[in-house]
Amino acid sequence: MKKGTIYTSHNIIWLVVIFIVIFWLLYALASFLHESRKIQNEIEAIRTQNEKNLEEIEIKKRRLEYLHTSQHIDKEAKIQMGKKQPGEQVLVFIEEKLPILPSSTERAERKEMLQDEVPVLEKWKWLFLGKR
């Protein structure tokens, strides 16, 4: 063997060690960049959440300020106690409440309807949609 060859076992071991060190450095760099990016994303998420929280705080502060105004107190007095100022006209809207359960006559009509010779589709319409 010649002493001048570059493919000696000593040189090959050094090349393998250098490649391992280079790959380890590249892996460490990629891992660091990945962790850094993940931390940046978490920081951005926290900042956006903080901005949302600050907006909610501002909205609640304005709501609290409104609750202490005379306008709100006057409005609540009108709604809850029916109070009005002299010379003021008040309109009252009454909500019509529909009965939840059918009356006894409607139940009797439905029983008769179901006992008669009526097509099944008509019976279902009567049950779910009411009178024909």
Lowest mean pLDDT among 9-18, 40-49, 75-84: 75-84
Confidence (pTM): 0.44
Q: Is 2 helix (H, G, I), strand (E, B) or coil?
A: coil
Long-range contacts of 125-130 (CB under 8 A, 24+ apart): none
CB-hemisphere CA count at 13 Å for 55?
6
CB-hemisphere CA count at 13 Å for 2?
4
Tell me: pLDDT of 1 over 50.
Answer: no
User: Between 94 and 72, whose confidence is greater?
Assistant: 72
User: Between 65 and 89, whose confidence is greater?
Assistant: 65
